[in-house]
Amino acid sequence: MAFNGIDAIVFGVADMAAARRFLDDWGVTQVSVADDRLVYRTRDGAEVIVRPHDAPDLPPPIESGNTVREVIWGAASEQELQKSLAVLRGVETFRTGSDGLPRVTDPNGLSLAFRVSRRTPITVKPTMPNAPGSHQRVNQRSPIHTQAHPINIGHVVVFAADFPAMRAFYTEKLGFVISDEYPGHGAFTRCQQVGDHHNLFILNRPGKAGINHVAFTVTDIHELIGGGIAMSKKGWKTEIGPGRHPISSAYFWYFENPLAAPLEYYADEDYCTADWNAATHERKPENFAEWAIAGGIDGKTRRQVVAIDQTGRGHA
């Protein structure tokens, strides 16, 4: 398939003012603001679109409350888009929206739209580490970030009401590739053979569809920590983090927010080709986090907030 990543995510929310305040603090760039529509962009141009939850033209929600209402996947060119649509036109829910975008609904009930990507790939320079005998940062201090500026929308994680149907839909209809898997419980999938470890992670939650979180990629652990502390300083509550995933190798920090389930800062994930060894893993807490701080870091003291993870979200 020809999709090269998440081009946009549409949220339906109850409090537009709170959503705007969060996104301004999150570090994405404001494009337009209206009572019925907010548009922000990441550094590569991926769009965060926020609408009132009761907007009549929004796709129906897959769960109650603030949540993701649609994911828009981008293709590298019109030719590549048409290749994918040739398969998707056979899906029963295939349709064209009033905005001209082709759409389908996945087995979870989530609306998916498709377009030629409006993103512009960018190259960033992470801070290089030093180690004995391997000095990659010479006469240069490591930076301290006071704000994160997300590069792209890295992935979305969904709870699947019917896990086998969701796994089959994304691998067979959209052509996503399995990077790693909890057999029968979860599938890390990427939308291209060569690319970041996962763009979509499907978690089994029988009979109860939902959104687990949405991840925004930042440059490196330094930006992740600096951005996370800045969010804490502005009063936003950590769900869990900072921490590090052993599957995907990435650093993370999750924040509660007025848009949906937690949003995540995410950095330093694995990059896969056809030679990647897709492994199977047991679904257990230590495979969610090699290490993690529950409650986050206080923005004023720069010390750990003493907390116990009581979210009940599984974190696995």
Q: What is the pLDDT of residue 2?
A: 74
- Domain assignment of residue 211, yes or no: yes
Q: What is the pLDDT of residue 316?
A: 44
Residues of the chain with pLDDT under 50: 316
CATH number at residue 162: 3.10.180.10
Q: What is the pLDDT of residue 306?
A: 75
Give 174's contacts (C-beta < 8 A, 6+ positions apart): 1, 3, 73, 84, 88, 191
Q: What is the pLDDT of residue 309?
A: 64
Please give the residue range of the domain that contains residue 40: 3-116
pLDDT tens for residues 38-76?
999 999 999 999 999 999 999 999 999 999 999 999 999
Task: Give the span between the Cα atoms of 106 and 100, in whole angstroms.
Answer: 19
7 lies in the same domain as 107 = yes
Rounded (10°) CA dihedral 19, 236, 6, 222:
140
Total number of domains constituting the chain: 2
- Domain assignment of residue 236, yes or no: yes
